[in-house]
Amino acid sequence: MQRLAGKTCVVTAAGQGIGHAIATAFLREGAEVIAIDLKEEGLNKLSGALTACVDATDPAAVAALPDRFPRISVLVNCVGYVASGTILNTPLQMLQQSFAINVQSMHLLISAFLPGMRERRDGSIINIASVVSSEMGAPERYAYGTTKAAVIGLTKSVARDYIADGVRCNAISPGTVETPSLHERIAATGDLEKGRAAFIARQPMGRLGTAEEVAAVAVLLASGEATFMTGANIIIDGGMSL
């Protein structure tokens, strides 16, 4: 059985990593997928999806999306940016950029598609947060942890405000996941072997998570199996926050 048959789903940051895995899983489960990313390259690998190159932090560009793609029943906000640094070496501009990418993008996308979901009394909003947030701290992740904590607060607020309108809003908080973004951070350490070992060492299971494992949780939240779930923050971190 295709668990998302008949659903039309928007997935942001679908060109790579977790967003790409979610879009792929949704297609496999029978959904019509609108895959959005800032870059066209990764979108070309999503056979069967409708695609759009959009800057998720651009208010005008995002506001135009519902006219192009009406009747959206699932929205996955996956755009994210990992800034490194403590409060003392994080410039205000970097904190503002982190809020723009990690939080403002979700505000814009939800604001664009929520009215249609309310009108049809049918909507599942899935926000990709992080276990590094209000759940736990991590070294040199001041701006990232602050903004991902905001994502969890945003999720619960939207869930509470629209609980009677047929719209659910949940968050997924991954631990350390094997993605191109992680590969960039490993490379930035200057020692690929030691950098990778350090990231794995944060995971009590002794391995990194996979984007496909996160995508499986997104499929659940998008499906009819999760219709009694709203305002939840699902942690999928291999025990990192324990």
Asked if residues 182 and 175 have their Cβ atoms less than 8 Å apart, the reply is no
What are the catalytic residues? 144
pLDDT band at 153 (very low <50, low <70, confident <90, very high): very high
Domains and CATH numbers, the chain: 8-177+210-234 (3.40.50.720)
Convert the pLDDT of each residue in 61-102 to its tens digit: 999 999 999 999 999 999 999 999 999 999 999 999 999 999
SS3 content of the chain, % helix, strand, coil (to 5): 45, 20, 35
Report which residue type is found at 176: T
What does the DSSP assignment read for 161-217? HTGGGTEEEEEEEE-SEESHHHHHHHHHTT-HHHHHHHHHHT-TTSS-EEHHHHHHH
Give the mean pLDDT of 150-161.
Answer: 98
Convert the pLDDT of each residue in 216-226 to its tens digit: 999 999 999 99
What 215-220 contacts at long range (C-beta under 8 Å, 24+ apart), as own/partner pairs, is 215/18, 215/21, 215/22, 215/24, 215/25, 216/25, 217/172, 218/22, 218/25, 218/26, 218/76, 218/126, 218/172, 219/3, 219/4, 219/22, 219/25, 219/26, 219/29
Task: With a cut of 90, say whether residue 187 has pLDDT above it.
Answer: no
Convert the pLDDT of each residue in 27-60 to its tens digit: 999 999 999 999 998 899 899 999 999 999 999 9
Predicted confidence at residue 186, as pLDDT, reads 77
Convert the pLDDT of each residue in 166-179 to its tens digit: 999 999 999 989 88
pTM: predicted TM-score of the whole model, two decimal places:
0.94
**C-alpha to C-alpha distance for 193 and 163, rounded to whole angstroms:** 47
pLDDT band at 203 (very low <50, low <70, confident <90, very high): confident
Predicted confidence at residue 35, as pLDDT, reads 98
pLDDT band at 185 (very low <50, low <70, confident <90, very high): confident
**C-alpha to C-alpha distance for 50 and 146, rounded to whole angstroms:** 33
Residue 213, Cα to own-chain centre: how many angstroms? Answer: 13
**C-alpha to C-alpha distance for 137 and 86, rounded to whole angstroms:** 11
